[in-house]
């Protein structure tokens, strides 16, 4: 964030949307059973979203607005990183 000229407090505030997006995505994934969306499609979709978010962040320049590029990249990337929690679903569901 030094590259973008943000103070430490502003940089921390700009990362908050990732946490909120993760909370929303977890709530949605908890309500969606694996019979509706199979695990392999969740993992593939999550990997794709994480890649898109990382690609968007890589295009950040000093003259680009935070709201135009980084905010959507953080939201998309955070939702994509939930594939890590989805990968553990078969393990946790097999424990009785």
Number of domains comprising the chain: 1
What burial letters (b/e) apply to 54-64, b meaning 16+ CB within 10 Å? eebeeebeeee
Q: Locate tokens 């962040």: which residue?
A: 57
Q: Locate tokens 């953080």: which residue?
A: 74
Mean pLDDT of the chain: 83
pTM confidence score: 0.75
pLDDT (tens digit, 9 = 90+) per residue, 27-69? 887 777 777 878 888 889 889 999 999 999 999 887 888 888 9
Residue-range definition of the domain harbouring residue 17? 8-94
Would residue 3 count as lying in a domain? Answer: no
CA distance 76 to 70: 10
Would residue 81 count as lying in a domain? Answer: yes
Would residue 16 count as lying in a domain? Answer: yes
Would residue 41 count as lying in a domain? Answer: yes
Would residue 1 count as lying in a domain? Answer: no
Would residue 90 count as lying in a domain? Answer: yes
């Amino acid at each position: 964030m030094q590259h973008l000229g943000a103070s430490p407090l502003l940089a921390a505030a700009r990362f908050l949307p990732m946490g909120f997006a993760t909370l929303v995505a977890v709530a949605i994934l908890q309500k969606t059973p694996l019979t509706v969306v199979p695990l392999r499609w969740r993992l593939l979709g999550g990997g794709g979203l994480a890649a898109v978010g990382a690609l968007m962040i890589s295009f950040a320049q000093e003259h680009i607005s935070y709201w135009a590029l980084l905010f959507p990249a953080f939201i998309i990337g955070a939702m994509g990183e939930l594939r890590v929690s989805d990968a553990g679903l078969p393990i946790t569901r097999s424990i009785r």
